[in-house]
Amino acid sequence: MAQVPQTFFDALAVRTWCGLALETLGRAREEIDAINVYPVADGDTGTNLYLTVESAVAAVEAVFAAHEVGAGVSGKPTLADAAGAMAHGALIGAQGNSGTILAQLLRGMAQVLTADGETPHTDGSGLRAALRHAADSARQAVAHPVEGTVLTVASAAADAAEGAEGDCGAVARAAYEGARTALAATPGQLAVLGRAGVVDAGGRGLVAVLAALVETFTGQTPRPVASSGEQAYVPPGTGTDVATDGDARTGTDTADQAPAGDDCAAPQAGGPAFEVIYLLEADDASVQRLRSRLDALGDSLVVVGGDGLWNVHVHVDDAGAAVEAGVEAGRPYRIRITHFGLGDVHTTGGGRPPRERVQRAVVAVVPGEGLAGLYSEAGATAVLARPGERPASGELVDAVRRAHAHEVVLLPNDADLRHTAAAAAEQARAEGIRVALIPTRSAVQGIAALAVHEPERRFDEDVVSMTSAAGATRYAEVVVAERESWTMAGICQAGDVLGLVEGDVAVIGSDVTATAESVLDRMLQAGGELVTLVLGDDAPQSVADRLEARVRESYLAVDTVVYRGGRQGALLLIGVE
């Protein structure tokens, strides 16, 4: 951590600010999580903000490390280098609604700070301009801005900064005080906050980030925000005023009880059940069309980024359709789909939600958009693995955190993810989460495990039942060979259709349907009660129709179920229970 205070806003100040912001959010994370009520009461605003800033810090530190390797005074990073890294790191690591908005705020600041790449530093006037552009660009990124949210707090901070004279310290302090005052007023602007007696959680997080900015330039830590709900917002008419000086009743204090992802449309009773987030490589025109399509699918739409890279966040009922819209627009990756579960604002229509974690959740890695939607509808937190892009352990740990449960069952659904999943489970256990790893090697085994999952059962009993169901499911896949190679079934040529049973090539053919039939016959020779077929995007429906007919004609008392998997890599996945 660099020394404070910093005189100018230069690369070192960016580094210092990011580090202090991470520390500040780390201390306030659980408090902010606990007051999350809008737009979805899933208790993760503080965590999402922390993870977003953590990604920004890593990117900035990487820039400094790269310049240190080059050595020499001339090797120091510029303001543009550091600010650009901060914005990019936040963009690719943004979590949830609140983290996505914060990423756009940092990007808006960076656009001003990097406008002249040769400037070594900026002063109070430059910081004022950066804060103004940050607030404006964040508001533009939200499909339907709502007052009483983090957007309101950001705008108030920019307004207060514009009226401040002096150096960066004076501007930062003015912005901080403006944000605190605006935060105190949020319960009167948004009904769900007023009913819960809290302020906006995303706004509370922004106040914490601005407090770190004040410390960066003054060396002084602003008065801490109270975390007790009883010390926070007092509804109008009670005869008690809300203070704005940082005492126990300031709006900042109550922000600790506010909600996560507070930047979009007001929550509706019976609203969308899934949160979908992904990074997207696409051009501006495609993203504009994507905004319109996603806006029609759900709410809480936030699309941030630019220059070909975007972070997309939306709440929808049809998670698969949201991902498919991204596929049509460009190349989505790092796709995360979260089921909000019962008892949140969307399903209850408002009111103070329970703050406790759910008792048990399932986290599963899935190979296609269709299966991601299927798993999510069954209540699991799905991590989408694109062909050739298996998730890292950090992504799995993040998914376990997002599940927000005391107990988590982890389904890797890929033999090659076994060690990665084990590392993620170990890290999650170190954080106090009870995690059971079921070594599923295919998504169809995961489907079998999820089918017998009963959260009300004792954890050990549930894990045993799910493990047994997965182990009793034989799995296969039909793929197209990419190159000539030796296999257990002989030599295959590029373009051949391969049938793999339990991971080994068992059939080499030229026709998809014929190869799939051969594979299915081999699997059913040992008996079975249920056949699960998961079709990839490139597999015609006729394949499933033919296999269903084959089962009806040749295998009595065997049922068949068919799913569309999306872009899952394999033409067809087959499971036999």
Instruction: Give 364 or 4, the one with higher predicted confidence.
Output: 364
pLDDT tens string 206-239: 999 999 999 999 998 887 654 333 333 333 333 3
Q: Is the dihedral of CA 314, 316, 320, 322 positive or negative?
A: negative
CB 66 within 8 A of CB 235: no
pLDDT at 333: 82
pLDDT tens string 505-527: 999 999 999 999 999 999 998 88
Lowest-confidence region among 55-59, 333-337, 363-367: 333-337
pLDDT at 511: 92
pLDDT tens string 179-194: 999 988 888 888 878 7
pLDDT at 47: 83
Percent of the chain predicted with pLDDT > 90: 45
Instruction: State how far the Cα of 549 lies from the Cα of 531, in Å rounded to an integer.
Output: 12
Question: CA dist 310 to 34, 87, 162, Å?
Answer: 29, 12, 29
Q: Is the dihedral of CA 267, 272, 278, 283 positive or negative?
A: negative
pLDDT at 43: 64
pLDDT tens string 80-132: 999 999 999 999 989 888 899 999 999 999 999 888 766 778 888 899 999 99
Percent of the chain predicted with pLDDT > 70: 85
Q: Which residue has the tokens 């510029």?
A: 78
pLDDT at 287: 95
SS3 readout for 216-236: HHHCCCCCCCCCCHHHCCCCC
Q: Tell me if the pTM is above 0.85.
A: no
pLDDT at 68: 74
Contacts of 302 (CB under 8 A, 6+ apart): 97, 100, 101, 104, 141, 142, 143, 263, 264, 312, 313, 314
* Length reported for the chain: 577
DSSP 70-91: H-SGGGSPPHHHHHHHHHHHHH
Residue 275, by phi and psi: left (phi above 0), alpha (psi -120 to 50) or beta?
A: beta
The Cβ-side half-sphere exposure at 422, using a 13 Å CA radius, reads: 6
Structure tokens at 557: 């008392």
Question: What does DSSP say about strands 490-492 and 485-487: parallel, antiparallel, or unpaired?
Answer: antiparallel
Q: Is a pLDDT exceeding 90 seen at residue 15?
A: yes
Mean pLDDT of 251-273: 41
Q: Which of 328, 206, 315, 302 is nearest to 255 (CA)?
A: 206
pLDDT band with cut points at 50, 70 and 90 for residue 310: very high
Instruction: State how far the Cα of 94 lies from the Cα of 138, in Å rounded to an integer.
Output: 14
Q: Is a pLDDT exceeding 90 seen at residue 377?
A: no
pLDDT band with cut points at 50, 70 and 90 for residue 271: low
CB 180 within 8 A of CB 249: no
CB 79 within 8 A of CB 113: yes
